[in-house]
Amino acid sequence: MPQCEMCGAESSSLTTTKVEGAELELCDSCTDFGTEVRTESSSSSSTKYSTSSSSSSSPSSSTSGGSSSGGSSRRRDMFDDMEELAADYDDRIRSAREDRGLSQEDLANELNEKASLIRKLERGDILPSDEVQTKLERKLDISLSEGAGDEDAEWSGGSSTTTTLGDVVKRKD
């Protein structure tokens, strides 16, 4: 007699139920912990996970086939549109504020923020929210995000030639 995969009770009939993303064979008392998965008779005979994998594998297989012939295209996500905060954002804020002759309290008043927030930002204790970052960039006429040029310079080491593995490795002959 089959056993419930959650409580271990033996039951004559088990129901395929999705619990927190996993499909389990559960008894009637444990099916309340998830949602019942309706399976087709042809797909359930092949494997108990065929319901979720067959519906998701066909689009992904066509996508992966198209991307391999089309080059190196990948799916875009929300992080592609986000700009990365510069590592020296605290120094940029402090130097721009001092260049304008503003105290931390004066800058805070002009931004309608607390002076303690400005102090914490300049010490690098906290990261600015998107709203505060926009206010600071407009008021101080600075950019707190890293541009593409900054990343390229960091990785290339400032040189115009590209270093390859062959430049670094010493062969033993």
Could you give the count of Cα atoms lying within 13 Å of 101 in the half-sphere of its Cβ?
Answer: 0
Where in the sequence is the domain holding 102, given as residue range(s)? 77-158
CATH classification of the domain holding 108: 1.10.260.40
pLDDT over threshold 60, residue 51: no
The answer to whether residues 60 and 37 touch, using CB atoms and an 8 Å cutoff, is no
Q: Taking 70 as the threshold, does the pLDDT of residue 26 lie above it? A: yes
Question: Could you tell me which residues come within 8 angstroms of residue 74 by beta carbon, excluding any fewer than 6 positions away?
Answer: 67
Phi and psi at residue 84, to the nearest 5°: -90, 135
- The domain total for the chain is 2
Examine the domain organization and report whether 26 and 89 are in the same domain: no
CA nearest neighbour of 17 among 5, 2, 3:
5
Confidence of residue 65 (pLDDT cuts 50, 70, 90): very low
Q: Do residues 29 and 54 both lie within one domain?
A: yes
The answer to whether residue 163 is domain-embedded is no
According to DSSP, the residues that pair with 10 across neighbouring strands are 3
Q: Could you tell me the strand order of the sheet in which 15-19 lies?
A: 22-26, 15-19, 35-36
* 1 within some domain: no
How do beta strands 15-19 and 35-36 pair? Answer: antiparallel
| Residues 85 and 146 placed together within one structural domain of the fold | yes
DSSP bridge pairs for 24: 17
For residues 43 and 84, state if they share a domain. Answer: no
Mean pLDDT score across all residues of the chain: 75
Q: pTM, whole model, 2 decimals?
A: 0.42
Write the pLDDT tens digit of every residue in 87-129. 888 999 999 999 999 999 999 999 999 999 999 999 989 989 9
Question: Is residue 7 situated within a structural domain?
Answer: no
Token digits of residue 155: 């990785």
Tell me the one-letter amino acid at 164. T
Clarify whether residues 83 and 35 are in a common domain.
no
Dmax (CA) of the chain:
81
What pLDDT is recorded for position 71?
53
**In whole angstroms, how large is the CA radius of gyration of the chain?**
29
Instruction: Identify whether residues 149 and 115 lie together within a single domain.
Output: yes
In a shared domain, residues 57 and 81: no
Question: Using alpha carbons only, what angle is made at residue 16 by residues 10 and 21, rounded to the nearest 5 degrees?
Answer: 120
Q: What is the number of H-type helices and E-type strands within the chain?
A: 8, 3
The answer to whether position 89 is within a domain reads yes
Q: What percent of the chain has pLDDT over 90?
A: 28
Three-state secondary structure along 1-21?
CCECCCCCCECCCCEEEEECC
